Structure 1
Amino acid sequence: MRYRRARICWGRAREHGIRANTISPGLVSTPLTRSLTALPGVMNAYLERISAKHRAQPDEIASMAVLLPS
């Protein structure tokens, strides 16, 4: 949603050499999300709605965060 908003607000930003990138991993496997995904049916319902069919791992996101600005 934020990326979409940035595109709207900046309008012709590309003409000025401004680019916006985003990493939107969805549900990430962390200690904070373990209690949520432990609830019956929550993980299956989530996985059915996404194309990757797995939760993102923190190291996957870190790799993208390093690669993106390069």
Structure 2
Amino acid sequence: MTNHFKRGSIDDFCARRGFCRSTFYNHLATMPKVTKVGRRVIILEEDEAAWAERRNENQPALEAA
């Protein structure tokens, strides 16, 4: 049985989200969970989605003028 999951490197995540790698590591506590696979460090799609959801919850809603 093989598990299929989408994943990406930290560089891929940073490119998609407009962060530099330094920003990712400087704010590691608030970034998505990372998973180590051998020597590689990846971010699973589910972890990135959970991070995005938490980030949206923390953003104040814009009120119409």
Q: Same fold (TM over 0.5)?
A: no
Give the structure-1-normalised TM-score.
0.26
**TM, length-normalised to structure 2:** 0.28
Larger CA Rg, structure 1 vs 2: 1
Q: Whose helix proportion is higher, 1 or 2?
A: 1
Q: Which has the higher strand share?
A: 2
